[in-house]
Amino acid sequence: MWGRPSPRPGRRTARRAAVAATIAALTVLTACGSGSDSDSGSGSGDKTDKASGGQGGGTAQLDFWGWNPAYEKAVTAFNAAHPDIHVNYNKVEPGSKGGYAKMLAAVKANNAPCLAQMGYETLPSFLVEGALQDVDKDAAAVKSKYSAGAWSQMSVAGKTYGIPVDTGPVAMFYRTDVFAKNGLTPPKTWDEFAQQADRVHTADPSVAYSAFGGNDPWWYAGMAWQNGGSWFKPEGDTWKVSMTEPGTRKVTEYWQQLLDKKVVSADPTFTPDWYKRFGDGSVASYVGPVWFTALLEENAKDAAGKWAVAPMPQWDASGKSTGNIGGSGTAVLKGCKNTKAAVTFADWMSSDPASLSTLVKDAGIYPAATAGASLDAMQQPSAYFGNTKIYDVFKESAAQAPTGWQWGPTMTQVSADLTDRVGKAGAGNGKLADALTGVQGTTIKAIQDKGLKAAAG
């Protein structure tokens, strides 16, 4: 999918055998991502590693590509405190908007940075491309700082490919003024959510009760995740793909009804017009991840004090299940020569209290480091959200995401297809069910095109 030349026959056979041998190990990576590649942990024999920082004396120079503006602050603080390592932060486009393609192209051209911001869902794709460096030996000493679930997102089959940064627990954001005007309290169930949507939109057709995030692929995955959905399942040497399984199908039917009644907004996500509606009150709620807190504060400043956070609605009144949207780590790319320095920085950014405080405040992350939950920044009331302790809600949510979710090996392709097909269906050009069926078909073919086995499952 990147225009990658076909491997030589001998290497293709060896690679296919290696993938088949390790695919069973992927099942232990519940929640967020897995994959394998015969080239992912050692040199391939026909590549020259890029010298991203020597192992000898002097200052190690590390390049770090990412798009989170808060990371740049962390890099500046790290450089000031570590004269023996200097990290050069290069801001690139978000991964799904070109950043990942640029990283893969750099790996293939042997001029990649040592470090890269990477969503957990993308790790399998990079492993399949042979674009990650095994840093298990260097990372072993810091493993105990992180939750087992978060650490697994950057590891597969006993090898580690970077350091986890954050997870993406989900809650419901809502406008307190709109809810008060309509006599509402945050819904406990999705049935109540739908009833409130009818009520708000009937009272004022210019107000959408909530925003459908269909052209944000991981938002849709998060909704299915909560309901026990599972899109990928490795069985033997075959990837089983199902985006129409019962959990996802129920979510699809539910949101299709809301879209058909036009009680939710289907505007493209993360655009100026989208944020404008959050600011002016013409969108009354959004079910989204913890990192949306920072985006809302930045893009709807005039709505300070009008937003609050409540638990994610449940499919069953007695249920306690949430989804996960996003979460990322700092990956070490293939060709990095100074993996020790790379891990030193990545671990510092993810676990140093001052660094985490910056990331929590400026990026709205939920730390992967276990000590992160006790940070002062996680205990303080948020002025924007009505002086409430919003992280209490996300802490509860983080513990309630089902553990059966599995990412597949071609998530960049899945992301593009979901964004296109589900986004169009959400806007009224087709139905969500047909969009998901279409993505399933293209995904199976994409996996097969990589020389792997795949089937509907």
pLDDT tens track for 176-225: 999 999 999 999 999 999 999 999 999 999 999 999 998 898 999 999 99
Structure tokens given for 319: 């249920």
Tell me the residue ranges of DSSP E strands in 47-195: 60-66, 85-91, 115-119, 155-156, 159-160, 162-175
Kindly give, in sequence order, each residue whose CB lies less than 8 Å from that of residue 318, ignoring residues fewer than 6 positions away: none
Average pLDDT, the chain: 86
pLDDT of 265-300, one tens digit each?
Answer: 999 999 999 999 999 999 999 999 998 998 999 999
**Region for 157 from its dihedrals, namely left if φ exceeds 0, alpha if ψ lies in -120 to 50, beta otherwise:** left
Closest CA to 200 of 313, 309, 284, 311: 284
CB of 19 within 8 A of CB of 452? yes
Decide if pLDDT at 364 tops 70.
yes
Tell me the residue ranges of DSSP E strands in 52-113: 60-66, 85-91
DSSP designation for 113: -
pLDDT of residue 429: 94
pLDDT of residue 155: 81
pLDDT of residue 399: 82
Structure tokens given for 166: 């954050």
Angle at 348 between CA 346 and CA 354, to 5 degrees: 135
**Strand, helix or coil at 124?**
helix
Higher pLDDT, 346 or 153: 346
The pTM score is 0.78
CB of 35 within 8 A of CB of 156? yes
pLDDT of residue 57: 53
Decide if pLDDT at 230 tops 90.
no
Within its chain, how far is the Cα of 206 from the centroid? 32
Angle at 407 between CA 402 and CA 412, to 5 degrees: 140
pLDDT of residue 214: 85
Closest CA to 405 of 32, 24, 119: 32
Q: Please state, in angstroms and rounded to a whole number, the distance separating the CA atoms of residues 379 and 384.
A: 15
Domains 32-167+327-387 and 171-323+405-456 share a fold: yes
Closest CA to 337 of 135, 51, 85: 51
Report domain 32-167+327-387's class: alpha beta
Q: Which fold has domain 171-323+405-456?
A: D-Maltodextrin-Binding Protein; domain 2 (3.40.190)
Kindly give, in sequence order, each residue whose CB lies less than 8 Å from that of residue 394, ignoring residues fewer than 6 positions away: 169, 171, 290, 309, 366
pLDDT of 61-76, one tens digit each?
Answer: 999 999 998 999 999 9
Which phi and psi angles does 52 have, rounded to 5°? -90, 15
Residue spans of the domains in the chain: they are 32-167+327-387, 171-323+405-456
Question: Which residues is 422 bridged to in the sheet?
Answer: none
Residue in the block written with tokens 């089959």: 157
Decide if pLDDT at 37 tops 60.
no
Within its chain, how far is the Cα of 28 from the centroid? 19
